[in-house]
Structure 1
Amino acid sequence: MRWASALSAAAIGAGAVAGPVAAATPSVAAPQRAKAVTSKVECTSSNHKLAKKLAADIAEALASRESMASLSFFDRPTGTSCTSDAAKKYDGASVTKTVILGALLYQKGGTLTEAEDALARKMIIDSDNTAATTLWKQLSDLKDPKKPDPVKIQEFLDKAGMGSTVLDKEGSWGLTQVTANDQARLLRLFTGADDSVLGSRSRSYALELMNQVQSLQRWGATAGAPLDSVVHVKNGWLQRSQNPDVDSFDRGDWKVNSMAALTENGYGSGLVVLTENNRVPEGRPANEGWDYGIETIETVSRAIYRDVYPDAEGYHPSRPTSPASPPAAEPGAAR
């Protein structure tokens, strides 16, 4: 696995796509859900056996998890894609920062000022919330400063075809609703060769920042990735408060998300896994819900990379012992 400082990304052609293969995961319910949630994993590939194995192994990886999860995966060299509940909306938390970055690069044509470059680097590499808020406001209509309307970010989403993403128009960017499909579309954009939305300079810059993410935030959709690939990652997490105004479904749960792309040395893939209802067992430390979400993502990630790259040695990410929890009064400032 390589974490480099300067990168170039090129699209790798995919082969013909076989028909979809589907595998149903057993019903999985969050503890307070009266009705179980049934997920269906669907995979297509130029290699039908690979598609079948991926669908079965992803379903098995999800079957033991009590939280809710959605995913979208693509691999250009094998012409493979997999999804599970990929249109379901989740609080984006800090994966929203990749959307902000894409919008900034789109609006600026890839040429940032020194100040914008510094903010973008802080936002992605260090997951700095203040930097994200500053750029969100820069890309917003500020007629009502208390409710910045992110119109320029919406322009980017429209151009990128990310029609399922719903921006939070009251400034809580971490509560922007994202889907696994739309975030995977963003990874395709960053790793592709299409200049119609972002030019090559913008795409390389986005990947460079995601490649330089600080070491303790490289967990999640990187787990099991081949060590000879160049990896680009962005994670996000958010614990909802126990306040009465929060829906009982969300109270106290952890939203944990991860997205990663593999490039260079023949690699060309992207994986997004979004989770919620990672509950904290009664009387246990709060970080156990956060850990559970990460474990869900990494269980899925390892299963995928093991199937697609069976001969590769996989990456084992580290992570801090406890997360940085956002202030209860400002849920948009999620890490």
Structure 2
Amino acid sequence: MRWVSTVTAAAIGAGALAGPVAAATPSAAAGQRAAASGPEVRCTSTDRALAEKLSHDISRALAGRKSMASLSFYDRPTGTSCTLGAARQYDSASAVKAVILGALLYQKGGTLTAREDALARKMITESDNDSATALWKELSDLRDPEKPNPVRIQEFLDRAGMGNTVLDKEGSWGLTQVTAGDLARLLRLFSGGDDSVLGSGARTYALDLMQHVRPAQRWGATAGAPLDSLVHVKNGWLQRSRNSDVDAFDRGDWKVNSLAVLTGNAYDSGLVVLTENNRVPEGHPAEEGWNYGIDTIEAVSHAVYRDVYPGAERYEPGRSLRRGAATAG
């Protein structure tokens, strides 16, 4: 019998104010998020003690954090899963690039042209925004070039059962609304054995790109992962502008997201952590909001991997954000 442990994650996300570097459209979910009550960490497992410990330790990792956070975790070998606000929508930033990759592979039957392969590689391993825009347009209805409607990405979402993901239909792909639950479903798709949506070659290709993300971008949901696992990752970060046409909830806010899959040596797990409300104190460097979001994610990541893989040697990622660079990735 599966056992359910429920523990309240105290004070996750107090008041909010914040919105993107390159887009002024306010977040569609902002009002819902501002009014939402704090969710609870819920873990289930075939191992009762593990479920209870995860619920407690994830809640403790988030206690006192000012970030608003949601997560979804699964571990197939132990039959374990954890969620926290997994249906809450967040601005995707570059986390949506994993979705674009899945849609591209789905539409192409896993066989890409040399140009598509080059764009996909840059999009995932370097988080290149121009490559993401090019593939977004390739998967869109371009009857109005100023507002590429990503109809073929939507077809993939429908097929993959990612019904809570809302694509931005005006071309600002980083403002796509994603949920931890849907992104975990995508990770299960990439790492599983089901050929009904993506064939084995396409799944292997996606994981290979995520395994070769450059070292400076391997932070987040990778932190504390066992050193003998293969770690596949895609992160996203975005500081919304302070312009008056951006919803007050989003103005100046850093959105920092991370998704990771562990495979190899009998590992088979996925973790998604989405955050927002990562504020920069007045007069402080902008990077502080970015680092605060990462610290929130890595606190969760360490707690999860410590409990599920006790005694393992740990991976500790670096991070790098160039001063003066665009604040989206």
User: Does TM, normalized by the shorter one, top 0.5?
Assistant: yes
Kindly tell me the number of residue pairs found equivalent between the two proteins: 313
Deviation at 1:31, TM superposition (A): 4.5
SS at match of 1:267: coil
2:30 paired with 1:26: no
SS at match of 2:268: strand
Q: How does 1:1-335 map to 2 (within 5 A)?
A: 18-32=2-16, 37-322=37-322, 326=326, 334-335=328-329
Aligned in 2, Cα 1:80/1:324: closer, same or farther, shift over 3 Å? farther
CA distance in 1, matches of 2:104, 2:90: 22
CA distance in 1, matches of 2:289, 2:105: 34
Aligned in 2, Cα 1:177/1:323: closer, same or farther, shift over 3 Å? farther
Aligned in 2, Cα 1:101/1:65: closer, same or farther, shift over 3 Å? same
Aligned in 2, Cα 1:324/1:314: closer, same or farther, shift over 3 Å? farther
Letter in 2 for 1:234: K
The answer to whether the 8 A contact 1:239-1:325 is kept is no
Letter in 2 for 1:240: R
The answer to whether the 8 A contact 1:42-1:55 is kept is yes
Deviation at 1:208, TM superposition (A): 0.2
Deviation at 1:76, TM superposition (A): 0.4
CA distance in 1, matches of 2:63, 2:166: 29
Deviation at 1:320, TM superposition (A): 1.0
Deviation at 1:29, TM superposition (A): 3.5
The answer to whether the 8 A contact 2:13-2:277 is kept is no
- Stretches of 4+ aligned residues off by more than 2 angstroms: 27-37, 321-327
The answer to whether the 8 A contact 1:27-1:39 is kept is no
Letter in 2 for 1:70: S
CA distance in 1, matches of 2:323, 2:92: 16
CA distance in 1, matches of 2:84, 2:165: 17
Deviation at 1:324, TM superposition (A): 7.2
- Specify the alignment match of 1:9 in structure 2: none
Deviation at 1:326, TM superposition (A): 3.7
CA distance in 1, matches of 2:317, 2:296: 14
Deviation at 1:64, TM superposition (A): 1.9
Deviation at 1:82, TM superposition (A): 0.1
- Specify the alignment match of 2:20 in structure 1: none
- Specify the alignment match of 2:29 in structure 1: none
SS at match of 1:20: strand
Aligned in 2, Cα 1:324/1:109: closer, same or farther, shift over 3 Å? farther
CA distance in 2, matches of 1:35, 1:172: 25
Aligned in 2, Cα 1:95/1:103: closer, same or farther, shift over 3 Å? same
Aligned in 2, Cα 1:65/1:37: closer, same or farther, shift over 3 Å? farther
Gaps of 5+ in 2: 18-33
CA distance in 2, matches of 1:142, 1:53: 50
SS at match of 2:300: helix
Deviation at 1:20, TM superposition (A): 1.5
CA distances 1:41-66 after superposition (whole Å, capped 9, x unpaired): 00000101000000000011111211
CA distances 1:179-222 after superposition (whole Å, capped 9, x unpaired): 00000000000000000000000000000000000010000000
Deviation at 1:19, TM superposition (A): 2.4
Letter in 2 for 1:90: Y
Could you tell me the TM-score, scaled by structure 1's length? 0.91
CA RMSD in angstroms comes to: 1.5
Deviation at 1:37, TM superposition (A): 4.6
Letter in 2 for 1:293: G
CA distance in 2, matches of 1:293, 1:224: 16
Aligned in 2, Cα 1:36/1:201: closer, same or farther, shift over 3 Å? closer
The answer to whether the 8 A contact 1:105-1:111 is kept is yes
CA distance in 2, matches of 1:194, 1:241: 41
CA distance in 2, matches of 1:178, 1:299: 21
Could you tell me the TM-score, scaled by structure 2's length? 0.92
Gaps of 5+ in 1: 1-16, 328-333
